[in-house]
Amino acid sequence: MSLRAAAREHLERLTARGVSAHTLRAYARDLEKFAAFLASAEGVVPAPEGVTGAMVQAFAAHLRGRELAPASISRALSAVRGLFADLAARGAVPANPGAQVAGPKRPRRLPRHLPAPDMAALVASPKGEGRLAVRDRALLETLYASGIRVGEAADLDVPDLRLDEGLVRVRGKGRKERIVPLGGPAREALGHYLALWGPWRAKGRREPSRAPLFLGRMGDRLTSRGLAWILARRLSESGVFARISPHGVRHSFATHLLDAGADLRSIQELLGHASLSTTQRYTHVSLAHLEGAYRDAHPRARGGRGDGPRRPPPSGRNPG
């Protein structure tokens, strides 16, 4: 089997496992880059069993030489390692040649989020009772109340809502489902939206077997890109000067919970993180918040006169 054919079968298996379309497209591009690199460097694309660790290492050096972002290099190497891990598990190759090839160290970035007053301004930015304003308020309330990803919000169907219980069923990464609570404002906004948009719901024809929750003007499901565009437009109308990505609402959700005393394990469950270590990055954000509050409030946190005069040590005693 050729390397490209093995890559196609691998991507088909990932599709069956529920890997997102966005990730699959990225992996497909990365694996094609790997095959093209081998064709250029070796004169021919070797069969999977002929790929060596040195070839994968050379591919990593090639990507670094192109000055790609560390995240892009890491993802490409992850795609290669994933392909050969799959092949090795099925006995098609003796070992994974990329297992020992490390990706670049990625700088640790704190999640960018909005303070609670700015989030309140953003959620309240759609004014009036027009159809689009009502929809956008319901969308923003849902994103902030639940902390779900924009892609998860786009994938919601009406039956996923249990408004009487204040719950929503979310399909996360790998199609894993979780139940997330919704607060009163989100439940009210969603109820108003569903009542107003009823006449348009039957117009969408792309998914007759499903009932998409968030709809575009023509009655079809809003895409992740459409939801992100709505968020950007409403942010510009809110008077909030900070700029955040669609994921920033999710970061704000987690940070505000942590600042209010929620425990990490509960936040992990709400966010749908497979590992607690992914959730722990929010502790750094919260720590920065606490340090700021300490500096502003504690009389001993600031230098200068606020510390008060130092008393001399008692006579005859060593001050150290």
Quick check: 100 and 80 in contact, CB under 8 A?
A: no
Per-residue three-class SS string for the chain: CCHHHHHHHHHHHHHHCCCCHHHHHHHHHHHHHHHHHHHHHHCCCCCHHHCCHHHHHHHHHHHHHCCCCHHHHHHHHHHHHHHHHHHHHCCCCCCCCCCCCCCCCCCCCCCCCCCHHHHHHHHCCCCCCCHHHHHHHHHHHHHHHHCCCHHHHHCCEHHHEECCCCEEEEECHHHCEEEEECCHHHHHHHHHHHHHCHHHHCCCCCCCCCCECCECCCCCECCHHHHHHHHHHHHHHCCCCCCCCHHHHHHHHHHHHHHCCCCHHHHHHHHCCCCHHHHCHHHHHHHHHHHHHHHHHCCCCCCHHHHCCCCCCCCCCCCC
Would you name the residues annotated as active-site residues? 149, 173, 247, 250, 273, 282
